[in-house]
A and B are shown apart, each in its own frame.
Chain A
Amino acid sequence: GAVVSQHPSRVICKSGTSVKIECRSLDFQATTMFWYRQFPKQSLMLMATSNEGSKATYEQGVEKDKFLINHASLTLSTLTVTSAHPEDSSFYICSARGEEETQYFGPGTRLLVL
């Protein structure tokens, strides 16, 4: 299967700071990337859909000014959590889709905001 990487895998930051998470498709070109959030023992929650070279489409209830998404190339998308607060602590997972229908997931980033 296709390989998707995420960096960092784990981050701890102070309240009020911004955190950037990178998502890369390593062996295929990802025309679309997705950003999810998952709280413990809950289902995946789609935050936004990102198409290369265009603005991301955010799901209802997700603040686009707080969760900045950039998909500047066919292999890289970034999610920046701006002015993070403790309630933003979660498991953030990206996925990428190329020419196939399948979404391949990155390993996830665990964010803890103190």
Chain B
Amino acid sequence: EAQVTQNPRYLITVTGKKLTVTCSQNMNHEYMSWYRQDPGLGLRQIYYSMNVEVTDKGDVPEGYKVSRKEKRNFPLILESPSPNQTSLYFCASSLDITSYEQYFGPGTRLTVT
């Protein structure tokens, strides 16, 4: 089944404790991205990747890192999480970077206390 998977689905952590949210797709898509979704603010792009070893900042990259060592994986790293990073995070992938028709993962709800 074609899908985007994220882990973990739920995470509660404390300020400053490094964490990684994994994202994997099995559709051989070149384009992958991370979003955060907050009430009243909608979906905002954090980082995106056009292909392996090619990543770029989205609208809200501060406090996040990403890597794209393999085509299928695009982990999101929070080196020192803060409470303002409490949010619902989505990973997405797309075959075609011109049409941008994206497949989203199920989401990761992160709470930083």
A binds B: no
Footprint of A on B, CB under 8 Å?
Answer: none
Footprint of B on A, CB under 8 Å?
Answer: none
